[in-house]
Amino acid sequence: AQSVTQLGSHVSVSEGALVLLRCNYSSSVPPYLFWYVQYPNQGLQLLLKYTSAATLVKGINGFEAEFKKSETSFHLTKPSAHMSDAAEYFCAVSEGITGFQKLVFGTGTRLLVSP
């Protein structure tokens, strides 16, 4: 079965600092990996996805993530945090082979950005 582990339920950074949100996955088949963001009282918005092409994936709002098979990781980074980045972030995995794209989510990491 596929699973995702997000380290740290809360991450606090100062505005302008590096953002690093950690995600490790477990999958017996080649995975598709995703990062979603959720702002208060809103649905989920896709930030970026890895679907077996380039291992360094660039997404919206200056975020990027690197797929590292040897480490089974897909950490999310942004060089300089902005106040508007404060939100909850979810890492997710789905199967790539069968085409059935049920998403399995991590428990989420709340990003806090201080001035």
Partner 1 sequence: GAGVSQSPSNKVTEKGKDVELRCDPISGHTALYWYRQSLGQGLEFLIYFQGNSAPDKSGLPSDRFSAERTGGSVSTLTIQRTQQEDSAVYLCASSLAPGPFSYNEQFFGPGTRLTVL
Work out the burial of residue 36: count CB atoms within 10 Å of its CB; fewer than 13 is exposed, 13-18 middle, 19 or more buried. buried
Asked if residue 99 binds partner 1 (CB under 8 A), the reply is yes
Total residues contacting partner 1 by CB under 8 A comes to: 26
Closest CA to 88 of 56, 51, 45: 45
Stretch that binds partner 1, among 20-28, 42-50, 65-73, 79-87 (CB under 8 A): 42-50
> Which of residues 12, 14, 45, 61 is near partner 1 by CB under 8 A?
45
When the beta carbons of 74 and 81 are compared against partner 1, the nearer one is 74
> Which of residues 24, 51, 72, 77 is near partner 1 by CB under 8 A?
51
> Which of residues 5, 8, 104, 110 is near partner 1 by CB under 8 A?
104
Task: List, in sequence order, the alpha helices (H) in the chain.
Answer: none
Stretch that binds partner 1, among 20-28, 57-65, 73-81, 93-101 (CB under 8 A): 93-101
Residue 69 dihedral angles phi and psi, to the nearest 5°: -65, -40
Instruction: State how far the Cα of 40 lies from the Cα of 32, in Å rounded to an integer.
Output: 26
Closest CA to 91 of 19, 36, 44: 36
Which residues are at the interface with partner 1 (CB under 8 A)? Answer: 32, 36, 41-46, 49, 51-52, 90, 92, 96-108
